Amino acid sequence: MFLLKSEEGREGRWVWTRINPSGTKPTPRSGFSVAMAPNSQTLLFGGVCDEEEEESLEGDFLNDLYFYDATKNRWFAGQLKGPKAEKRKRRRGTKAEPEGANEQECGEASAQAPREVVREVVTEDGTVVTIKQMLTAPGPSKQPPPDEDDSPEEAGGPLVEPRPRSNAMLAVKHGRLYLFGGMFEAGERQVTLSDFYCLDLHKMDQWTVLVEADPETQEWLEETDSEDSDAAEGAEGGEEDEEDEDSSEEDQEPQHPLVTPGEQFADYLPRTEQYWVRLARDDAGSEAKEKRVLKVAHAMAKAFFDDSA
C-alpha cells in the first residue's frame, strides 16, 4: 500500500511513500471497489483473488467489506450487527403495546401464497443449471411467538448480503453506502450483475435490497451443452412438455431438506451437504470434476436456503 503526497518545501513535487497500516487488513485481491466516506474513511468492497491450479486460472470472488481510517492508518473489518439486535431493542421499548399488533404482523407474514422461484447456477465450465422451486407459505411453527425474547434468530432471519463480485459501483450519500452491479466469472463466462443494495453505515445492521437480481435476464444466447439444447427444443415443441417438466420439478421439490426455524446457512449446509452434492453430481454428469460439483452443490443449497427463509 502506497501514499501519494506533496513533498514538503517543494511546490508541485509529489512523491510515493510506502505505508504499512495496522488492524485487520484485506486479503490480496484485484477488481475491488472503493468509496470515500466521512471522517477520513475509505470503504473497500469485494474483488477477486486469482488462484492458479495446474494449467487453469480460477478466480475466488469476494463480498467482504473493510474500512480504512486515514487519520489512524488502520484497517477495520466491516462486521454487520444483524437485524436481531434491532429487534431486541424494539421489543424492549414496546412491551406495553397491545398483543393484537404483534398478532396482526404474524398473520400477515403467514398469509403469503405459494410462489415459484427460478434460479440459474452457472458452473465453472459455463454450464447453466436451472433450479425451479415451489415455495409455500411458512406454517405457524416457523413464526415465533410475539412475547418470546429468547428467539432473536427467528425474528431477525438470515442476513441479506450482496453475492461475491468484482468491479461493482460504490457511492456514499447521507451516511448510506450504495452498491450496484459488478461481475463474476463462471469458467470461461462472465456474468454481469444489475442488482442494487444499500447499507446504513451508522447502524451497520444489514444490507437492504433496492433492486433484486433477476435470473431471467441472465440468459445465455448460445448453447452451452446438450442439456441446454434439449431444454430449448422442448420449449419450442409446445407447452405440454414444459408443463410436464414443471410438474416433475414440483413433485421433486418437497424432497429437498427443509430449513428449520431460526437455522443459519452455516448450520444448514453441513447438515444437508451430501444431499446437494448428490443432486449436483446428477445434473453435472459423471465426468464432472469434484470441485465443480461441490461449487454447484453449495450454490443450489444457498439458493434454496435464501428462498425458504
The structural domains of the chain, ordered by start, are 2-81+160-216 (2.120.10.80), 265-308 (no CATH)
**Burial zone of 226 (CB within 10 Å; 0-12 exposed, 13-18 middle, 19+ buried):** exposed
The confidence score (pLDDT) of residue 86 equals 47
d(CA 99, CA 106): 11
Contact 166, 30 (CB under 8 A): yes
The pLDDT score that the predictor gives to residue 28 is 92
Strands 33-37 and 2-6 turn out to be unpaired
As beta bridge partners, residue 128 has 122
* Range among 10-14, 207-211, 222-226 rated most confident: 207-211
| pLDDT, the chain, mean | 74
Q: Is the pLDDT of residue 143 over 50?
A: no
pLDDT value at 147 more than 70: no
Instruction: Note the pLDDT of residue 144.
Output: 47
Indicate whether 105 pLDDT > 60.
no
User: Is the per-residue pLDDT at 260 higher than 60?
Assistant: yes
Assess whether pLDDT exceeds 70 at residue 170.
Answer: yes
Distance CA(67)–CA(59), nearest Å, equals: 23
How does residue 176 score in pLDDT terms, banded at 50, 70 and 90? Answer: very high
- What's the pLDDT tens digit per position in 36-95? 988 889 999 999 998 777 667 778 899 999 999 999 999 999 988 877 544 455 555 555
Residue 287 has pLDDT above 90, yes or no: no
pLDDT at position 165 is 92
Residue-level pLDDT at 12: 82
Higher pLDDT, 34 or 55: 34
Q: Is residue 205 within 8 Å of 157, Cβ to Cβ?
A: no
Query: CA-CA distance, 293 to 285, in Å (whole number)?
Result: 9
Enter the C-alpha cell of residue 3: 501514499
- Which of these, 35, 46, 2, 42, lies nearest to 21 by C-alpha position? 2
Whether residue 288 is predicted with pLDDT greater than 90 in this model: the reply is no
Q: Give the pLDDT confidence score for residue 190 in this predicted structure.
A: 81
Residue 81 has what pLDDT?
A: 84
Closest to 301 (Cα-Cα) out of 267, 261, 262: 267
| More reliable by pLDDT, 129 or 182 | 182
Residue type, 67: F
Query: Would you state the pLDDT for residue 291?
Result: 80
